[in-house]
Structure 1
Amino acid sequence: MSEGHENAGWRRLFGGDDLTFGTGFPLTGTRESRPDVDEEMRLAAHAEDLGFDALWARDVPLYWPRFGDAGQTFDPWTWLSHVAAHTDEVALGTASVVLPLRHPLHVAKSAASLDHLSGGRLVLGVATGDRDPEFDAFGLDHEARGARFREAVDCLRTVWSEEFPAASGEWGELDGDLDLVPKPTTETVPLLPTGRSRQSMEWLGDHGDGWLFYHLPDDTLDSYLDRWREAAGEKPYAMVVRTELADDPAADPEPRHQGYRAGSEWFVDYFRRLEEMGVDHVLVGADGDDPERGLTRLAETVVERV
């Protein structure tokens, strides 16, 4: 772990040798309308008490019914600031901020502010976005999202690490007369590019502090991990896994989108296998009509045993 990656959130997720677990909002499962805020905060505190290492929030600027998912509805900066006030030590992650749709100076200011207000718990997943109508709404060319992403990452790194920097890009120009404050609690807010982000593996390895990817079958995952290690060395690898617990602990796995439905015994073996393969963090979710019970079952029958 390098000196610049030592904020509290990073240490919680990647500071040891064991696989860590996070879960994502909305914890109530409400994805197409505004979730109950008080219930979300109660469940966030409960997840922390159960030992989950991170709480992740989505960035969905505009709701597109055809996509069928509004994330946690609220803006991630405002939302995670509220979560920070209702939790103590759990890492707070974005999965992921759509950089091409946001001005990088606004992102830099918001992220550094949240990093301070949370006591250094922010880990920033960043992505290029996958909802083309949003780019039309913002008057942006969705085909240029890869280049805008690279420029945004360079801008973030510069204004977080330098005082009164000189920098320029499609986003604008800084000539050394202006500074971004506050700076992060450490050298940088850790950045986890998400998916391929329309970049080469070499670029991801050079510019990301880690990589956040989606669920993959074991054989494919193994090859991705090999390529990631070649490009990034020991930088961490995090992934999303849908975890739908069957009532029967011995139930065999059934494929689901981004994961499986299976018994707790199979999931324990599965996550141990992921850890042996070199996965560092998994973002899991508890399905079901009773989210509190679902989080508790997942923690007690799977997470604690891994």
Structure 2
Amino acid sequence: MLSLSKQPFTEQPGFKRTYQPNKLTLGLFYPIEAYQGEAPTMENHIEIAQQAEDAGFAALWIRDVPLRDPNFGDLGQIYDPFVYLGFLAAKTKNIALATGAIVLPIRNPLHLAKAATSIDQLSGGRLLLGLASGDRPVEFPAFGVDMNERGEIFREYFEVLRKFQKTSFETIEWSGGLLSRADMVPKPVTQEVPLLITGHSQQLLDWIATNGHGWVSYPRSPEQQKNIIQEYRSAVQRNCGTQFKPFSQSLYIDLSTQPDAPVQPIHLGYKMGRNELLKLLELLESIGVNHVILSLKYSQRAASEVIEELRKYIVPRFPSIMK
């Protein structure tokens, strides 16, 4: 039986709102709009964030896309993730603010720690820090990083990031720097910002289970996802005992105006009516998914309209855990 042991990260308000054993909550991926091509409009997104918070969504998720890469074709929310998170922190009250995910190897870990703990403090402990090794080849030479070494760099930076948060005036040396006779401030609200690993980030599953506070993965068929989750839970149990480390996944949806519309596959998700969406989410909860991050990029309807329908018929079944 999984337990929510009293690790510092489990007491953080953003984590408590989003994660609990054997329960599923819902989040939204930015940009929260339907759009074609690589660039969203980013119009009315603060109002939509407030609508989502009022509706009971657990978290808002921000991506890290530092450069425009025409070959990749997706700019995310366009704005710098931490600048935008600061803006959202000032415009919302309780909803968790998450990154999905910061590309760790191309960032100075001290700068990253400073930005993350600042958002965590300014938001009252609402930051969930998703981290990844990166997959866009154009980014690595631009930031002076060897893409082939990103897995090793990820592990190193992950460890120093944790040390910056949890220690005070401790000498910390890494391949890119040395912290001595100085301290990184501010510190997190609960000693450590929850660190969620996205994908495999060039790491073995046992490493992910041991070092991460949770795992964010990708949409798969429920049968495949069940097997992945079972492997992950086994790895957590081997390395951390009964400690609860949640599993999250993304899901693109195109919500039909017809409640009983059947399921049709789309890229990384499905077009369907709300009744089929409810069945799918209940199935995902039953196989161990703790949080589903919905993306409306391929929606045929306005985001505010979809969120209102989800508020009435879907979110009450999967409410945020701590409002």
2:295 to 269, 285, 299: 285
Q: d(CA) in 2 for partners of 1:34 and 1:296? A: 21
1:23-172 aligned at under 5 Å gives the runs: 23-29=28-34, 32-33=38-39, 35-36=41-42, 39-172=44-177
Aligned length: 304
Structure 2: which 5+ runs fail to align? 238-243, 319-323
The DSSP-based 3-state class of the residue aligned with 1:132 is coil
* 1:172, distance to aligned residue in structure 2 (A): 1.3
Structure 2 residue identity aligned to 1:186: T
Q: Letter of the 2:250 partner, please give it.
A: V
1:179 alignment partner in structure 2: 183
Instruction: Give CA deviations for 1:241-290 in whole Å, capped at 9, x if unaligned.
Output: 11211222222211111111111111111111111111111101232341
Match for 1:264: what amino acid? R
1:11 counterpart letter in structure 2 = K
Superposed displacement of residue 78, structure 1: 0.4
Could you tell me which of 257, 264, 271 is aligned with 1:247? 257
Which whole-Å CA distance do the structure 2 matches of 1:4 and 1:257 have between them?
37
Residue of structure 2 equivalent to 1:297: 309
- Shifted more, 113-122 versus 294-303: the winner is 294-303
1:186-244 alpha-carbon deviations (Å, 9 max, x no partner): 12000100000000000000100000001011121111111100111331100001121
Deviation digits for residues 145-172 of structure 1 (CA, Å, limit 9, x no counterpart):
0011101110111111011122222121
- Aligned twin of 1:264: 274
Q: What is the TM-score when the length of structure 1 is the normalising length? A: 0.95
Query: How far has the Cα of 1:4 moved from its partner?
Result: 1.0
SS in 2 for 1:212: strand
Q: Write the letter of the residue equivalent to 1:294.
A: V
> In the alignment, is the contact (CA less than 8 A) between 2:62 and 2:98 conserved in 1?
yes
Do the aligned residues in 2 keep the contact of 1:268 with 1:303 (CA within 8 Å)?
A: no
TM-score normalised by structure 2 residue count: 0.90
- Work out the CA distance in 2 between the residues paired with 1:7 and 1:18: 18
- 1:173-192 per-residue CA deviation (whole Å, 9 max, x = no partner) reads 223x1110111011200010
Which residue of 198, 207, 221 maps to 2:225?
A: 221
Cα 1:36–1:239 shift into 2, 3 Å: closer
Q: CA deviation at 1:95?
A: 0.5
Runs of 4 or more above 4 Å deviation: none
Query: 8 Å contact 2:22–2:288 — kept in the other structure?
Result: no
Aligned partners of 1:295 and 1:285: how far apart in 2? 11
2: CA distance, partners of 1:288 / 1:248: 12
Give ranges in structure 1 of 5+ residues lacking alignment: none
Greater RCO structure (CA 8 Å; 6+ sep)? 2
